[in-house]
Structure 1
Amino acid sequence: TLSKYAHVELLEPNALVPDLVFTANGASVQGRTCLLSHFRHIERQREEPLYHAWFYEHGYHVHTLPDDLFFEGSGDALFSQDEPHVWFGYGLRSDLKAVPYLESLFQANVTSLHLIDPRFHHLDTCLCPLNAGDVMYYPKAFDETSIASIEARIPSEKRIMVSDADALLFACNAIFIPDNTGTTHGIIIVNDLSSVLRQQLEKRGYRIETERVTQFMKSGGATRNLTLTLF
């Protein structure tokens, strides 16, 4: 499905690091700048040299973080589609101390959001920036201060709040691809979603593609978690 809308690069699998499949967590990338992840769990730290090698070999400027600072890439750092801005989730996997690095490297404003539900341990499982300032998110994954931050930045008509049922389908863990033809508001590739949410999104002009990834959901991720966008 993805290859219909975008060029796809493949990362060689490695039996010693099975979570390598969740490539969204490997780094944050914009242009040729790459901020490499430093995983909280030791098991995933074995992935770091593999990501470092891939980005270096493909000509990216690779930046690393101090050993005592945890940051899990585009799982927790989500770029807005239409401005130099990053939504950053912290509290479960990534550290708030990563914010200055994001601001400096990507020359972007950062909105920090505190994640409080361990079922949604990365920001990309509960928030998805879409086109023209639209944001799809699951409010119960955040503390009250973070909800206020979202509401302060995003007008009510641009907020798409998902239900408990859609959140558990990982509807927010969706791949968004801009439609350069201008015939739609963009393409959303998602594991699954309710008819109510589908209608909301289609009414706004989005094209919905479903790609069931239920086996990967057992490890807490869906379609977006399996991809890393290279701007």
Structure 2
Amino acid sequence: MCRPEHFTVSYRINPWMNPQLPTDTSLAVSQWQELYDTYRRLGIDVQLIDPIDGLPDMVYSANGGFVLDGKAYGASFTYPERQPEGPAYMEWFGANGFEVVVPEEVNEGEGDFLLVGDVILAGTGFRSASDSHAEIGRVFGREVVSLTLVNPSFYHLDTAIAVLDPEPVDGVSNIAYLESAFDDRSLAILRERYPDAIIVSEQDASILGLNSYSDGYNVVIAARATGFERQLRERGYNPIGVDLSELLLGGGGVKCCTLELRR
């Protein structure tokens, strides 16, 4: 995670961002602290990367890479405003004992790569180039399933899909997703692979309710995503709501602020 000490919205690279609206950095920090404290209460070991002045989106650490089997596949950002984040995160990975793979293709880390069981779901359409899907498959030797995003408000895969079961339960890992975020081909794939998935409403998705973290039982979600909260409870999960409304002004939520380090 990365404390949002320099958070502001000074440019516009997604539909959520509006530089004309004021942002409150201190509020962003206190809301982020609530998320950090929630993870600590759940017994999660949280590592921090130092924020860098001039990189206000560095708080969205999920975009900094994809880490699996002790190997860190670095990010190569689409927009110039965020491109310095890639080397910063790769430097941190290397200093903390991970084997660093410098990307050749444009990708935005766990924003567009989600591990579901042994499969990597990979998003494209707005940020990560489709060529990065083949590259990450070569790096990790895992099956990669390409999905195309079509709604600019859900420009990263982690805004449109929530991984509910990081490890398979009775051989199955489940997800939740927003149908309207995907093209027809991708929807057909999701419906075939995850017939018991939770289908989240437009209302809950519109506050990045799907941008969440799950350990397989506890699911940390946007506090205002009350419909998704109810759906999770009905399926036997324990939803935990956190208010990240200030960070939503930059287009990020719970998962955006969370990069999973899988050794």
TM-score by length of 2: 0.80
Instruction: Give the Cα separation in 2 of the matches to 1:215 and 1:144.
Output: 33
Instruction: Specify which of 215, 220, 225 is matched with residue 251 of structure 2.
Output: 220
Partner of 1:97: 131
Query: What amino acid does structure 2 have at the position aligned with 1:224?
Result: K
Describe how 1:2-21 pairs up with structure 2 within 5 A: 2-5=39-42, 6-21=44-59
Describe how 1:34-113 pairs up with structure 2 within 5 A: 34-66=72-104, 69-80=105-116, 83-113=117-147
The answer to whether the Cα contact below 8 Å between 2:163 and 2:213 also exists between their aligned partners in 1 is no
Q: How far does residue 84 in structure 1 lie from its aligned partner after superposition?
A: 1.3
Instruction: Give the Cα separation in 1 of the matches to 2:54 and 2:205.
Output: 31
Q: How far does residue 194 in structure 1 lie from its aligned partner after superposition?
A: 4.3
Cα distance, 1:195–1:129 mapped onto 2, change above 3 Å: same
Instruction: Give the Cα separation in 1 of the matches to 2:126 and 2:93.
Output: 26
Which structure has more relative contact order (CA 8 Å, sep 6+)? It is 2
The answer to whether the Cα contact below 8 Å between 1:17 and 1:44 also exists between their aligned partners in 2 is yes
Instruction: Give the Cα separation in 1 of the matches to 2:155 and 2:231.
Output: 26
CA RMSD of aligned residues (A): 1.2
Partner of 2:60: 22
**Structure 1 stretches lacking a partner, 5+ long:** 179-185
Q: Between the two proteins, what is the percent identity of the paired residues?
A: 31
Partner of 1:202: 233
Instruction: Give the Cα separation in 1 of the matches to 2:90 and 2:225.
Output: 38
The number of equivalent residue pairs is 218
Instruction: Give the Cα separation in 2 of the matches to 1:173 and 1:49.
Output: 24
Describe how 1:124-143 pairs up with structure 2 within 5 A: 124-131=158-165, 132=169, 133-143=173-183
**Structure 2 stretches lacking a partner, 5+ long:** 1-37
Partner of 1:183: none
Partner of 2:190: 150
Instruction: Give the Cα separation in 2 of the matches to 1:84 and 1:107.
Output: 10
Instruction: Give the Cα separation in 2 of the matches to 1:204 and 1:122.
Output: 25
Instruction: Give the Cα separation in 2 of the matches to 1:16 and 1:218.
Output: 17
Where has structure 1 moved over 3 Å in runs of 4 or more? 193-196
Partner of 1:166: 204
The residue matched to 1:56 in structure 2 has which SS?
A: helix
Q: Tell me the alpha carbon deviations over residues 126-150 of structure 1, each in whole angstroms, 9 at most, x when there is no partner.
A: 1012123221000101111110011
Cα distance, 1:54–1:194 mapped onto 2, change above 3 Å: closer
TM-score by length of 1: 0.91
The answer to whether the Cα contact below 8 Å between 2:224 and 2:243 also exists between their aligned partners in 1 is no
Q: Tell me the alpha carbon deviations over residues 123-176 of structure 1, each in whole angstroms, 9 at most, x when there is no partner.
A: 000101212322100010111111001112112xx2111111011121110011
The answer to whether the Cα contact below 8 Å between 1:170 and 1:192 also exists between their aligned partners in 2 is no
The answer to whether the Cα contact below 8 Å between 1:84 and 1:107 also exists between their aligned partners in 2 is no
Instruction: Give the Cα separation in 2 of the matches to 1:163 and 1:110.
Output: 26
Q: How far does residue 193 in structure 1 lie from its aligned partner after superposition?
A: 4.4
Partner of 1:181: none
The answer to whether the Cα contact below 8 Å between 1:166 and 1:194 also exists between their aligned partners in 2 is yes
